[in-house]
Amino acid sequence: MGKICRRCLLQDISREQYEDLIVRGLKALPEEDLTSGDETAKRLEICRKCEKLNEGTCLACGCFVEIRAALKKGVCPYKKW
């Protein structure tokens, strides 16, 4: 896969590049900052049912929910988790 331009918008990259961006972002986070896999999965199940979820981002705060949900300090702006 080619390198992603730092100055591109998400609309300029492919679906595969977008997914890779999330996966690489998660891998770059320090282990001590991450929740357990169970906690992350629980949070994401709540996001999955939320009307604010839009293609992996939260319309309430603009974050990538898979990254926010993986962080110990991550919070839902609507306090759903």
Structure token digits, residue 81: 């988790």
| Sequence-ordered list of residues with C-beta below 8 angstroms from that of 65, at least 6 positions apart, any chain | 44, 47, 53, 56, 57, 58
C-beta of 28: minimal distance to ligand SF4 in Å? 21
Stretch that binds ligand SF4, among 4-12, 13-21, 29-37, 46-54 (CB under 6 A): 46-54
* Contact between 76 and ligand SF4 per CB under 6 A: yes
- Looking at residue 19, its amino acid is E
* Contact between 4 and ligand SF4 per CB under 6 A: no
C-beta of 68: minimal distance to ligand SF4 in Å? 6
